[in-house]
Structure 1
């Protein structure tokens, strides 16, 4: 019994030791867990405090950027800015070169008419002294308030009349004018670097201003105004060719006989070179003499060719040009049975609506955006924007009317680049470059369009298609030689002024009005943010 009791007491003491060890272990584990939790909480608190300060510094940097933008919009009287609540410093830099990605290498300064891009470098400071620096790039837009738009202001390689009747001045910045299907231009014709070829009963109801020659290769050419040429003028009498006013040329002027038709010049003929007048021609000017050669004579262009080249520079348009906030369901309208449908949206009264397709999946290979409109009673202005790498196909097959007032429909194929070529803006097609691989955009018109609906088609890739009904608005493309009317359909394109601020100010239709050259005023402003990076 005594032995058992001793064994029991020893066993109990052993158990008490084990319990003590367990308690110590548990306490140690608890201490470790508590330490880890405390460290984690402390780290989180410190990290949150640092993140908060970093966020504060970034917000402060953007505040400095916004202060600089506001100063530029207000007239830009200084280039450096600072603030204490929030704490920031910001500086304005400018460049006349291509789009930069940062302020590195640029000089601080306010923008001028030669500026192309603005970079604002802004540094913000958080409560713990941490800093954030950002470089923000903006375009500097320089335009005229009445910038000539007209039929088209830019061509690569020339223009060939494809429709029966154009109304509006036509300015060709590059290439020659060819009229070969009895087309009528109601407006003045300006050819800045090429020649003018008139044939097959072509009519210009206005003046012809050409840096190159002016000639008719067939019959019945008619110009109601004057001809001004820095080269020669050669016209045949066939078909009763007529010039309503003067002919002024640096080169030789030849008015030749062909057939038995009587041809006329209603004004004077003046040349630096020789002048030949056939017996079928009557020159009935009021000058003395009404036919004269003048050594050293230089025709006067009104306006000058230099002004025209400056005023009709290509406008680079894209989804970053400031058309407005895109409709949230834009991509859905490209699908079949979209709800709401495109027609429903266009017929719903409201503010301007922007369909920016540049971020949408446009189908297999994402190669094209097809916009087809049937009968639409337009209740709001609308713009459709297609990304550079896609092809834009516009088909207007129904009746387009306006529910109230004048309405605008814009179809914009984004220009791929804002880089200059030969010292000035140029159209850059992104779906195959600007060479043989370029795919022109489609523009087909067969419906009825009332005069209170104005249509603008903008394409740096050129246009192809059939225009089988009349419309009005703006055609702005670098190539329209493949835009045709099928058969003998008589179609008319009437230029109408259009605007969509701040993407572009008014695109006009006349170089000269009743009061002379419609020069407008120079408009300079900062555009939408193009690019921002945190250093």
Structure 2
């Protein structure tokens, strides 16, 4: 009986072991099939991505590995991100595409299948997008920096030159009006959709004025227009005081032309002109070419991981941000979007030896202070970018807009000391800027508000680029050969979402 019992127990144990082994074998076989199917699905997705630049086909199949893959564009005018290809129509992305969804089904051994929906942003920009000093403002704007060098494009709202302000470049006001304050100097042309006015002392425009509204400028303090005026509305150069004012060019209006006795105006006068003013480039083109660029923490390249990046924001970190910036090497990407506190960056007495971008998440305030002596190693035209991520890629009225995610609290940007003229600094904020700049610097202002920014220094626009996050942001709307339109660039961005089933 003992032998029989032992045999029965052994048989039961052996059966359990055999069942477990068979279960494991079957599970491994299933896992192997699913793994092969997943790899096949990703292979099909990669095949589709490789053709995206030209996109001559939208459906792809393969047999080794086995996959079936389709491209689905997600339409424009929404900005919201899709999560799958459900409800979408297969096709190639176009300039009106927001996102691209690649649906790929892979098949493994034993007929196992895995389907993935991979979602990518579809980036549409100009190779030489007009950047200039400011490319986007929402609502009214008064210059916060006393001296701008570079063209200025105000996409929405009215523009008012601050007292003693200087713009060395052309001014484009696409929607609102233009007003000139005491001693305002425009070293370029004014292109304004709305009225151009001044009752202040001694405004000076060293270029032409073109407007779809009227022009009303008094002779107060000796106004000077070293160019011509072309207006859809009335032109009224009025008398105010006894100081002589002057306009050197012609006066052309679809309505009336009135010139006061204190004005010297030797040019031809053409009232009741049969033609509207000619804008070059057109305001419509400028509106399309200067759309807001949504920047976040994607498409910058390999990110810094040598030490916990949030530790760099602590007191007395080792290494410090300054030491990393002054260490020669490839581009340095400091992504602070995982950090919980405000992003406060202070650079002082640094020799910049590499291109750098520092990125804050939408929900915090970004504070940047540049002080001491900041040099550009070997005058290599390095770039230092401070980016406060836009909180949303959602569209308004069919185009991207700035979306501040911290309760509309202005970011702070302070500049003092001495900054190398070859170093290019970009400040990007959808929340607007406050702060004080007492040192001159070059680069790109890209924000929707600098009303609270105060500066006595000269800001000089400089072309900057960081592909694929953004292509070249230039400084001039026009070059020697005319409008610098650049070419339309369309490409797929980094993976932002994926489902697997």
State if a TM-score over 0.5 links the two structures. yes
Alignment of 1:193-208 (within 5 A): 193-208=175-190
Find 2:122's aligned residue among 119, 130, 140: 140
Offset at residue 294 of structure 1 (A): 2.2
2:378 pairs with 1:412: no
Q: Which residue of 1 aligns with 2:304?
A: 327
Q: Does 1:386 align with 2:360?
A: yes
Check whether the contact 1:158–1:172 (CA below 8 A) recurs between aligned residues.
no
| SS of residue matched to 1:56 | helix
Query: Is the 8 Å Cα contact of residues 196 and 210 (structure 1) preserved in structure 2?
Result: yes
- Mapping for residues 11-410 of structure 1, pairs under 5 Å: 21-73=1-53, 75-97=54-76, 98=78, 99-285=81-267, 290-320=268-298, 322-328=299-305, 329=307, 330-362=309-341, 368-404=342-378, 405-410=380-385
TM-score normalised by length of structure 2: 0.97
Q: 1:425 is matched with which residue? A: 400
Please tell me whether residue 523 in structure 1 is matched to residue 498 in structure 2.
no
What is the RMSD computed on CA atoms of the aligned residues? 1.2
- Output the TM-score relative to the length of structure 1: 0.91
Q: Say whether the 8 Å CA contact 1:498–1:508 is kept in structure 2.
A: yes
Distance 2:45 2:266 in 1: 67
Task: For residue 190 of structure 1, give the secondary structure of its aligned residue in structure 2.
Answer: strand
Does 2:450 correspond to 1:484? no
**TM-aligned CA deviation for residue 295 of structure 1:** 4.6
CA contact (8 A) 1:162 1:181 kept: no
Shift of 1:360: 2.4
Residue aligned with 2:403, SS = coil
How many Å apart are 1:296 and its aligned residue?
A: 4.1
Q: How many angstroms does 1:284 deviate by?
A: 2.1
Q: Distance in 2 between matches of 1:335 and 1:86?
A: 49
Deviations, residues 163-222 of structure 1 (Å, cap 9, x unaligned): 221000000001111112211000000000011111110000000000001111310100
Task: Spell out, residue by residue over 1:313-346, the C-alpha distance to the aligned partner (whole angstroms, 9 max, x if none).
Answer: 11111112x1012100322211222222211111
Quote the offset at 1:96 in angstroms. 2.2
Size of the aligned set, in residue pairs, is: 495
Question: 1:54: how far off?
Answer: 0.8
Whole-Å separation in 2 of the counterparts to 1:68 and 1:44 = 36
- Deviation above 3 Å: which 4+ runs of structure 1? none
C-alpha distance in structure 2 between counterparts of 1:415 and 1:530, whole Å: 15
- SS of the aligned residue for 2:340 comes to coil
